[in-house]
Amino acid sequence: MFSYYLELALRSLKRSPGLTALMVLAIGFGVAASMTSWSVFRAVSGDPIPWKSSKLFVPQIDAWGPSGRSDKDDGEPSDAMNYTDATTLMREHRAKLQSALYQIAPSVVPAQAGRHPMNVSGHAVYGEFFPMVDAPFKYGSGWSANDDAQRAAVAVISAKLNEKLFGDTNSVGKSLNIEGKDYRIVGVLDKWNPQPRYYDVVNSGGFSEGVEDVFVPFQRAIDVGIPNDGNTNCNETPKESGFVGLQHSSCVWIAFMAELDDSSAVSTYRDYLTAYARDQQKAGRFGWAPNIRLRDVPAFLEHEHVVPSDTKVSLLVAVGLLLVCLVNTIGLLLAKFLRRSGEIGVRRALGAPRNAIYAQFLTEAGVVGLAGGVLGLLLTGAGVASVGFVLPKSISDLARLDVSLLVITLLVAVVATMLAGLYPTFRASRVQPAWQLKSN
């Protein structure tokens, strides 16, 4: 029966090619616009580390007090830490794994003669950082707690930098000149570029174009004075100058992340932070009651408004476009189906039940949807490929055409068109055979 309906559908669609083309175009454009926007939205709102994000936490401690904030902060502590608090939290080491980290942009001088020095970006972290974020290694590994304590001149580099400097060979053990000093490479990361860059949202704003090229031990970077390259926010001008002055100030510039594996660990850590802030209050460093936050990665990304509002607005507009396209399709299908009232009357009079009419016309709607979906696929492909022209590169690069997007595009097109066909089909099934036969 289905093949018969399919034949009927095709014949009917061929009879009014203009109307058919219009419906297919509407569905195609509507679906493509929403799928393209959705692919961007999906990329920026995704969980960067789904298997672990609920165990990774960002502690925030209010080190400025009520007078250090503007009114609209609602008492939120700053989203980064000052040096004193970050290093104390590291020293007291109350989480399973934790790392203070700050963004650096050191220069790297290639060993080969005649090559210009280059700027790389990266982070100064503690050795625990790598197992905490499950960073994949191609060669070697991260460094040990002992390396942290010894302030060892060791470094982990990206596969990309390794390729550039050592031609993709195992460079573990080799030396790398960072800011004029030699570092021993202990690990080369495999392809790893989590987006949003959840471990340092404050400096990346969520998304960064480049890969992180270099990681060095935090205390080592402090010792040799590799300055922070990220944001520095101060509630007052530091009393001393230089990078050392920054470390002694209340300015916030350090990100912090801790791994807490279960709810009891989370509440213990929260209590610890509160107790820490209370101790600081007692010691006279904080002139206010403890004001702390402990958010897991998804909550922190939400709090930092990582998904750009432009992305949300364009998704909404695109969904609006799809909606208009569907309303359009309902109208056109209605016109198309009711024009065939006579034919329906004959079929009904010859014994076709209402269900048969339903099946016939929904098949026709499905065919239109499928054609629209195929067109939509092509347009989505073109759309995803060209989002780079309209969106910032750091975001457009994340949008990808994959099998799931293709399948969903087709599904949305077919299901939406069949839904749009429901009302016209309902009307068609209500055609009174007697009246139709009489009037003709």
Measured from the CB atom, is 149 or 313 closer to another protein? 313
Measured from the CB atom, is 86 or 135 closer to another protein? 86
24, 33, 266, 377: which one binds another protein (CB under 8 A): 33
Number of C-beta neighbours around residue 382 at 10 A:
12
Residue with tokens 């590169």: 393
Whether 215 and 127 have beta carbons less than 8 Å apart is answered as no
Measured from the CB atom, is 98 or 311 closer to another protein? 311
111, 327, 349, 411: which one binds another protein (CB under 8 A): 327
| Cα→Cα distances 183→8, 108, 119, 227, 357, Å | 74, 11, 16, 17, 77
What is the b/e burial string over 273-290, where b = at least 16 CB atoms within 10 angstroms of the residue's CB?
bbebbeebbeeeebebeb
CA 99 to chain centre: 23
String marking each residue 259-298 x if it binds another protein according to CB under 8 A:
----------------------------------------
Measured from the CB atom, is 59 or 68 closer to another protein? 68
Cα separation, 215 vs 206, in Å, equals: 19
Site for another protein (CB under 8 A): how many residues?
A: 61
Residues pairing with 191 in the sheet: none
149, 275, 324, 437: which one binds another protein (CB under 8 A): 324
Residues pairing with 177 in the sheet: 109, 182
- Establish how many alpha carbons lie within 13 A of residue 291's alpha carbon, considering only the half-sphere containing its beta carbon: 17
242 binds another protein (CB under 8 A): yes
236 binds another protein (CB under 8 A): yes
231, 268, 274, 281: which one binds another protein (CB under 8 A): 231
26 binds another protein (CB under 8 A): yes
String marking each residue 151-180 x if it binds another protein according to CB under 8 A:
--------------------------x-xx
Measured from the CB atom, is 149 or 327 closer to another protein? 327
109 binds another protein (CB under 8 A): yes
306 binds another protein (CB under 8 A): no
Measured from the CB atom, is 391 or 414 closer to another protein? 391
| Cα→Cα distances 361→21, 84, 92, 104, 424, Å | 17, 71, 71, 63, 8
309, 351, 355, 438: which one binds another protein (CB under 8 A): 309
Measured from the CB atom, is 107 or 170 closer to another protein? 107
Q: Which stretch binds another protein (CB under 8 A): 111-119, 164-172, 266-274, 370-378?
A: 111-119
String marking each residue 379-408 x if it binds another protein according to CB under 8 A:
----------xxxx----------------
Measured from the CB atom, is 323 or 434 closer to another protein? 323
Measured from the CB atom, is 335 or 411 closer to another protein? 335
**Strands 122-125 and 214-217, how do they pair?**
parallel
65, 238, 298, 381: which one binds another protein (CB under 8 A): 238
Residue 28 in tokens: 């195609």
In angstroms, how far apart are the furthest CA atoms of the chain? 99
433 binds another protein (CB under 8 A): no
Q: Which stretch binds another protein (CB under 8 A): 55-63, 89-97, 335-343, 365-373?
A: 335-343
Measured from the CB atom, is 6 or 25 closer to another protein? 25
Taking the complex as a whole, how short is the minimal distance between the CB of residue 19 and another protein, in angstroms? 6
Residues pairing with 58 in the sheet: 295
Measured from the CB atom, is 194 or 331 closer to another protein? 331
Binding site for another protein (CB under 8 A): 18-19, 22, 25-26, 29-30, 33, 67, 105, 107, 109, 116-119, 177, 179-181, 227, 229, 231, 234, 236-238, 241-243, 245-246, 308-310, 312-314, 317-318, 320-321, 323-325, 327-328, 330-332, 334-336, 339, 389-392, 423, 427, 440
